[in-house]
Amino acid sequence: MSKAFLIAAPWSNSGKTTLTLGVSRWFSNQGYNVQTFKCGPDYIDTIHHGTAARKAAINLDTIMMPAQHMIDVFERYNAASDISIVEGVMGLFDGAVKDEGSSAAIAKMLDIPVILVVNASSMAYTIAPILHGLKTFDPQVKIAGVIFNFVKTESHYAFLKEACDTVGIPSLGYIPPNKEIAIPSRHLGLHIEDLFENVIEKAASHIATHISLPKLLEHTKTYPKIDPKIPVKTTGEKKYRIAVAKDEAFTFTYLENLKWLETIAEIICFSPIRDQKLPEADGIYLAGGYPELYVEALSANTTMRNQIKQAADRGVKILAECGGMMYLGTTIVNEEGTAYPMAGIFPFHTSMQDKKLSLGYRKVIFKDIEIWGHEFHYSKVSNDDNIPTVARVFSAREKEVATKIYQYQNVYASYIHLYWAALQQPADLCI
């Protein structure tokens, strides 16, 4: 039998990620095959989920993905695991528009129970009406239990447990605060992998000391253990070779996108930081990541920069997203104001000075293709006033936004991380 549940919270900063990482690692340490999922478009938490569970994590999203596609993806990976742990996004009912795309919406679609984690450091019996509201707001969302976080004493927990008893939601215990398991900043690149490993092990031990994790499984959904039979589309013989940038600077990829590419192409990974030769390929994929943290190394590899520029001039198809787009510009300016030359395919510059966050779901209309993605960046682009966009871009609320899709010959670049794994046919944007 396999188990599945979703970890959510009433609001952000309650400890969802720490709990997910710790619980995933603890079950993995016990010999379970653990599959982790992340609600929403986040591509950083999934990296650390994969570290914790020792198995690549998967995104689940009802905005970027058609509903049946999302369900199929979950069922395929869940069927091949012992325990499926889904981490929610923001507060339980927080979505792109009302509760669309929220943790609650995904829990309903997948018909899996919710384990709430609540930051109760400054709260006692008042949590009762909050829990009552979460329980009754949408009865189709099945709240199976509550874990209280940042609770120091048994006497404090007594008030919280009484609140659960009043509302009729099982209390699964409390976790005292522990500075040693604080999650490091996500914007540090993968050079913190060893640090995360240490934090994850400590989180697993700390959580298991205070919460009965075997008992937690009693409040999850049970599936019969079967072999996954969900078909994965294929085009038969692989007709293409796709070079995928993969190193410290380029890390933000949706696993299902790569799986989709593997059905039509041979994937060859390369490093724009270290490699001196660009693989021979029909297409190049430059995903997002942290190029701003590796500008010196990227700029110093003039051989790779020149080869990518030459490939673009020859008409090789290139798709570049966010960090990949920055790499294809003329320069990247770091926070100190130093400009580093990049591939020079586009005349624009990108800068990390005067940082301002831009984020949100994006619907891209390109020719007869509609494809969804997500925009999340602090950098800004300049010197692009004379570069037209080749597609229309809309927010989740159907408001047209100014984000551009740049084109040079067969090169397409933008700040948007696209999700194309649900497409039925190869698209010009993807190969």
Which residues are known catalytic residues? 322
Using the Cα atoms of residue 240, residue 247, residue 193 and residue 294 in order, give the sign of their dihedral: negative
Largest CA distance in the chain: 71
CA distances in angstroms from 37 to 61, 112, 114, 211, 258, listed in the order given: 10, 13, 14, 22, 16
CB atoms within 10 A of CB 279: 16
> Are 281 and 257 within 8 A, CB to CB?
no
Handedness of CA 39, 42, 44, 47 (dihedral sign): positive
Q: Where are the alpha helices (DSSP H) in 265-412?
A: 295-300, 302-314, 323-328
CA 240 vs. chain centroid, Å, equals 27
The secondary structure of residue 225, as a DSSP letter, is -
What is the C-alpha end-to-end distance of the chain, expressed in Å? Answer: 40
Q: Which residues pair with 175 in a beta bridge?
A: 149
- Residue 278 makes CB contacts below 8 A (sequence gap 6+) with 243, 270, 284, 304, 307, 308, 311
Residue by residue, what is the 3-state secondary structure of 35-64? EEEEECCCCCHHHHHHHHHCCCCEEECCCC
In terms of DSSP bridges, do strands 380-382 and 349-351 run parallel, antiparallel, or are they unpaired? Answer: antiparallel
Q: What burial class does residue 204 get, using C-beta atoms within 10 Å of its C-beta: 0-12 exposed, 13-18 middle, 19+ buried?
A: buried
| Count of CB atoms situated within 10 Å of the CB of 301 | 17
Asked if 14 and 117 count as a contact pair (C-beta separation under 8 A), the reply is yes
Specify whether the CB–CB gap between 360 and 394 falls below 8 A: no
Q: In what order do the strands lie in the sheet with 317-321?
A: 265-270, 240-245, 283-286, 317-321, 411-414, 405-408
